Amino acid sequence: MNIHKNRTYITISLHFLLWMLFTFVLLFYQPLSWSITLPFQFWIKQGLVLVLLIIVFYFNSYVLVPQLLLKNNTLWFLIIIIGMAVLAGPLIKIADNLLHLPELMDKAFNQLGVARPPKRGNKLDMFLLMMILLIAGISTSLTLIQKWQADKQLRESLEKEKIGSELSFLKAQINPHFFFNTLNNIYALTHVDVDKSRKALHKLSRMMRYLLYETQSGITPLSKEVSFIVDYIELMKLRLNDTTTVVFEEPVLKHDPQIAPMLFLPYIENAFKYGISTTEPSIISISLELQDKRLTMVIKNSIFKNNAITADEYGGIGLSNTKRRLDLLYPGRHIFSAETTDDAKTFIVKLNLTLDDTELYSS
């Protein structure tokens, strides 16, 4: 609201200053250089010229441009502008005669014995015509620029609203997806170890508290997201046997940048979904690294014939939504890859994010 008021004050001030400058240069500067006492009727006439120019400017700005030019009625727009310019000369001449200005001007020059500037006749009409066209041109240009800026702001506002709504929808899908999968895991654990299932519920409640109360703004410190990932990994370890090795390399944080929450979890979930075996040794390796503005995630998991996937099959609700979130939140600032190694034994997911200065130093 304050920004809108400030813009209004600035616009009014600029219009006022421009009209003051325009009035002095075009209407008052030359008469004042004549060094004579001009009759007040002359200034009335100059005032009428100024009023005429102001009427043309704002009539064109608020009526002709919106109602004709912007609605593709260009011909009528030009006809009316030219008509106003042509009629300006005769109207001023009528004002001159009503004010008896020609006689008064001759008298003013004769009293000082100064030769009056030659009467210009048609030249005066041409001068007024050019002034009207100049004013109409300035008015049209400013109005079109303001319309373009307003349309641009409206488009940006609508795009932000659209992106915000879409992000909220995507995040709303990711969180229940994570919650549903985790509850299934805890349910399976209750049949094996009650104590571990209780610990798991405690960790889950802490994680859900983070999701509900600390990620609503759409951004979160990287350190909190790392803590969330640690809790998730510990939760997953409760249901793993000794054949699975899980390694998580946390980033060294010299500062604590802001990132979008829940970006990494779907990929980590997939590693636990496809990268473990109840009979064969398996390894899940997760690393996060922050170097200057680049945040890199690398996830490696073992591949087994019974649950192997390819890069083309790497999908799911959480993953597809995360990719869409990346496109919206980090357009042109992320690189994603998912591939198997040459020996077809390991699946590798890489995600590189380039953080901007606002994200990097907001902590």
Is 162 inside any structural domain? Answer: no
Which 8-state DSSP code applies to residue 312?
G
Q: What residues make up the domain containing 320?
A: 192-361
End residue of a domain, out of 134, 155, 176: 155
Instruction: Indicate the number of domains in the chain.
Output: 2
What is the chain's mean pLDDT, rounded? 79
pLDDT band at 168 (very low <50, low <70, confident <90, very high): low
In this prediction, residue 342 has a pLDDT band, given cuts at 50, 70 and 90, of confident
Helix axes 74-98, 101-111, angle to 10 degrees: 60
pLDDT of residue 270: 85
Give a yes or no: residue 298 inside a domain: yes
- Which residues on neighbouring strands pair with residue 352, listed in sequence order? 296, 335
SS3 348: strand
Give the Cα separation of 66 and 82 in Å (integer). 17
Beta bridge partners of 194: none
Q: Is the dihedral of CA 114, 120, 126, 129 positive or negative?
A: positive
Quote the tokens at residue 13.
């001030």
Query: Are the C-beta atoms of 324 and 169 separated by less than 8 Å?
Result: no
Examine the fold and report which residue of 127, 155, 183 is the final residue of a domain before the chain moves on. 155
Q: What is the average per-residue pLDDT within 323-342?
A: 86
Domain membership of residue 232 (yes or no) is: yes
Pairwise pLDDT comparison (226 vs 240), residue with the higher score: 226
pLDDT score of 308:
55
Contact 104, 54 (CB under 8 A): no
Is residue 144 included in any domain, yes or no?
yes
Displacement of CA 322 from its chain's centroid (Å): 22
**Which residue stretches of 191-316 are H helix?**
194-213, 222-237, 265-274
Stretch 116-128: mean pLDDT, rounded? 59
Q: Are both 352 and 252 inside the same structural domain?
A: yes
* Full-model pTM: 0.54
Q: Are 191 and 331 in contact (CB under 8 A)?
A: no
Q: Tell me: pLDDT of 117 over 60.
A: no
SS3 299: strand
Q: Write down the pLDDT at residue 1.
A: 47
In a domain, 75, yes or no: yes
Buried b (16+ CB within 10 A) or exposed e, 32-42: eeeeeebbebb
pLDDT of residue 59: 92
